[in-house]
Amino acid sequence: MAADPSSTSPSVPAADGADYADTASAAYRAALQVIESVEPRVAAATRKELADQRDSLKLIASENYASPAVLLTMGTWLSDKYAEGTIGHRFYAGCQNVDTVESVAAEHARELFGAPYAYVQPHSGIDANLVAFWAILATRVEAPELANLGAKHVNDLSEADWETLRNKLGNQRLLGMSLDAGGHLTHGFRPNISGKMFHQRSYGTNPETGFLDYDAVAAAAREFKPLVLVAGYSAYPRRVNFAKMREIADEVGATLMVDMAHFAGLVAGKVFTGDEDPVPHAHVTTTTTHKSLRGPRGGMVLATEEYAPAVDKGCPMVLGGPLSHVMAAKAVALAEARQPAFGKYAQQVADNAQALADGFIKRDAGLVTGGTDNHIVLLDVTSFGLTGRQAESALLDAGIVTNRNSIPADPNGAWYTSGIRLGTPALTSRGFGADEFDRVAELIVEVLSNTQPEGSAGSVSKAKYKLTDGTADRVHAAASELLSANPLYPGLTL
C-alpha cells in the first residue's frame, strides 16, 4: 500500500516501509554482509528470495509480506533469552525485558480484537490450536473417577492419573469443518493430534450452493454432542456467522473455538464485524499472525476470562520456550494493525477478492459458491477440463504462484484435486487494486484456456499437461509488468 501520511503516526511507520526505506536498506545491506562473512550460501539464498518474491505473482491465500519493521524486529538478541512461563512468572531469571515485550504484544492484541485475554507465545497456528485444545480440556473435563486421587482437572493429574486420562480423553468429541469444505487438518483430522485425542465428526457445506449449512451443523451437533465445536477454515470463500455458531454450541453445551488463522486481518481491519467477528462469540479464538494479519510467522490465542488461566499454561504444557524476538515482532505488527491504514488495507483485500471473482465470472470460469465475500476465491478448474495439479503447474510456468485445493465432493480426490485456491492479501500489500486483480483473472484464464491435459481419450493424465507455445512467456511478461508497477518493499535496495 502507498504510505498515507495522514493516517500514520510517527511511532508506527507505514507497513510497506516506504517512509524509512533508506534506513532499512542500510540495515539489510549490513546484515547480509555479516551473514556473507560466515555462510555465503545463506546470504545468497536470502538475496535471491527477495528477487524471487519481487518477481512472482503471489496468490497463495495464506501468505503475505510483513513490513520491514516487523522483519527487522525479528533479527535481534531477544532471540537469545529463555523465558518459559508467563509474564512475571518465569522459570528463568532476568526476563524483565521479555516481560515488557510480551506484555506490549498482549496489550495490543487485547485492544485490537476486544478480547479479555491474549496469549502471544504460540510459535505457529497449529501450536495455538494445541494450546486451545488443552485449555478446553483443562477447563471442561472433570474426572470424577479420579476424585479419590484428589485431582479435579486434567492439569492436576499425577503420572498414574494420566494413564487413566488417556482413555478418558479418547472419549471427548470434536465437531469441525470437513477438509474438502475448507476446514484445517488441526480441526480433528487424522494426520494431526486433534484427530487422535478427540473423536471427530465434521460438518460440510450445502452440496447445491457450496455455502455453510447452519441447520446441518446444528443437526450434527445435536446428534454428536461435541465438547468442542470448531469454526474457521483455510479454503472457504465466504463469511461465517459466528453468533449462529455460538447458539449451536450453547444448545449442546459445547465450547466454541474459532480458528481465524486465515481471516484475522479482516477481523483486525473491521471488515468482519457484528456476527462475523468471532472474538465476542467464541470462548477461545486462535490465529496465526503471518497470514492476512501481516505479522511475523507465529500464532496467538484469545480467550474469555473463564478459559484464560488454562490458556496461560500453554508453555510449558504444550509449548517450548517463547520466541521472544518473534513476540517483539508480533507487538510491532499488532501496533501497525491498529493504525487506520490497516483498516483500509483489509477493506482493499476484500474488495480485491470481489474484483478477482468478478473477473472470473465475466470470463465464464467456474467458482465454488459462485463468488466470494472474504479474501479467498476458489476456482473450479474442471470448467477448463483440468485437474488442480495441472492448473497449478501451468500457472507456475507463467510465473503465477497458487496452490491446488480440493473442492466439495472433488471428482479428482485430495491429491490431484479440482480447485485452485487464490487469495488477495499478499498482492494487496504490494498496492494492487481492483483493476490489477481483474487483469490477474484475465491472465489466469489465458493460461488455463491454453492448457490441455496430456493423453488420449480413455487415458487422460491427471498430472501431465501441455501449454500452447508462447503462452507461458507472454503471460509471465504481462505479470512482470503488473509487478514492477507495484513494487514489493519500494525503496529497499540491497
Ligand X SMILES: *Cc1c(COP(=O)(O)O)cnc(C)c1O
Binding positions for (6S)-5,6,7,8-tetrahydrofolate are 179, 183-185, 305
* Interior angle at CA 439, CA 436 and CA 440, nearest 5: 90
Nearer Cβ to ligand X (235/386): 235
- DSSP letters of 215-228? HHHHHHHHHH--SE
From residue 48 to residue 67, the character string flagging contacts with ligand X as x (rule: CB under 6 A) and all else as - is --------------x-----
Nearer Cβ to ligand X (64/412): 64
Shortest distance in whole angstroms from residue 60 CB to ligand X: 11
Nearest-CA neighbor of 42 among 54, 30, 34? 34
Residues 6+ apart with CB under 8 A from 260: 232, 267, 278, 285, 286, 287
Residues 188-227 that bind ligand X (CB under 6 A): none
Nearer Cβ to ligand X (124/155): 124
**Of 14-22, 145-153, 238-246, 255-263, which segment contacts ligand X by CB under 6 A?**
255-263
Is residue 259 flagged as an active site residue? yes
Judged by CB under 6 A, how many residues of this single chain contact ligand X? 13
Task: Determine the Cα–Cα distance for residues 478 and 481; give it in Å rounded to an integer.
Answer: 5
Is residue 288 flagged as an active site residue? yes
DSSP structural state of residue 364: T
Shortest distance in whole angstroms from residue 411 CB to ligand X: 24
Shortest distance in whole angstroms from residue 62 CB to ligand X: 5
Among 8, 25, 124, 192, binds ligand X (CB under 6 A): 124
- 229 Cα distance to chain centroid: 19
Nearer Cβ to ligand X (67/405): 405
Task: Determine the Cα–Cα distance for residues 472 and 457; give it in Å rounded to an integer.
Answer: 26
Shortest distance in whole angstroms from residue 312 CB to ligand X: 20
**Of 247-255, 259-267, 308-316, 411-419, which segment contacts ligand X by CB under 6 A?**
259-267
- 367 Cα distance to chain centroid: 21
Question: Which residue is listed with cell 453468533?
Answer: 243
**210 backbone dihedrals φ, ψ, rounded to 5°:** 80, -5
Nearer Cβ to ligand X (8/241): 241
Do residues 440 and 475 touch, judged by C-beta distance below 8 A? no
CA distances from 196 to 144, 172, 184, 187 (A): 23, 10, 15, 11
Residue 56 in grid coordinates: 512472482
- 269 Cα distance to chain centroid: 15
Nearer Cβ to ligand X (234/451): 234
Question: Which residue is listed with cell 513494487?
Answer: 487
Nearest-CA neighbor of 127 among 73, 189, 80, 193? 193
User: Does 369 sit near ligand X (CB under 6 A)?
Assistant: no
Shortest distance in whole angstroms from residue 453 CB to ligand X: 30
Shortest distance in whole angstroms from residue 184 CB to ligand X: 4
Residues 125-154 that bind ligand X (CB under 6 A): 125-126
Residue facing ligand X at closest CB distance? 125
Is residue 152 flagged as an active site residue? no
User: Does 262 sit near ligand X (CB under 6 A)?
Assistant: yes
User: Does 374 sit near ligand X (CB under 6 A)?
Assistant: no
- 210 Cα distance to chain centroid: 21
Among 180, 259, 380, 410, binds ligand X (CB under 6 A): 259
**Which residues does residue 203 pair with via DSSP β-bridges, in sequence order?**
177
Q: Is 251 exposed, middle or buried (0-12, 13-18, 19+ CB in 10 A)?
A: exposed
User: Does 121 sit near ligand X (CB under 6 A)?
Assistant: no
Among 234, 405, 412, 428, binds ligand X (CB under 6 A): 234
User: Does 261 sit near ligand X (CB under 6 A)?
Assistant: yes
User: Does 186 sit near ligand X (CB under 6 A)?
Assistant: yes
Is residue 270 flagged as an active site residue? no
User: Does 172 sit near ligand X (CB under 6 A)?
Assistant: no
What is the β-pairing status of strands 299-303 and 400-401? unpaired
Residues 6+ apart with CB under 8 A from 488: 50, 53, 54, 65, 430
Residue 117 in grid coordinates: 485475554
Residues 6+ apart with CB under 8 A from 166: none
Amino acid sitting at position 38: V
Catalytic residue among 8, 36, 82, 201: 82
Nearest-CA neighbor of 84 among 282, 323, 263? 323
Shortest distance in whole angstroms from residue 291 CB to ligand X: 6
Q: Is 191 exposed, middle or buried (0-12, 13-18, 19+ CB in 10 A)?
A: exposed
Catalytic residue among 259, 277, 410, 436: 259
**Of 254-262, 267-275, 436-444, 457-465, which segment contacts ligand X by CB under 6 A?**
254-262
Catalytic residue among 168, 239, 291, 439: 291
Nearer Cβ to ligand X (27/185): 185
User: Does 288 sit near ligand X (CB under 6 A)?
Assistant: yes
Shortest distance in whole angstroms from residue 390 CB to ligand X: 25
Nearer Cβ to ligand X (69/240): 240
List residues binding ligand X (CB under 6 A): 62, 124-126, 184, 186, 232, 234, 259, 261-262, 288, 299
Residues that are catalytic: 82, 84, 259, 288, 291, 297
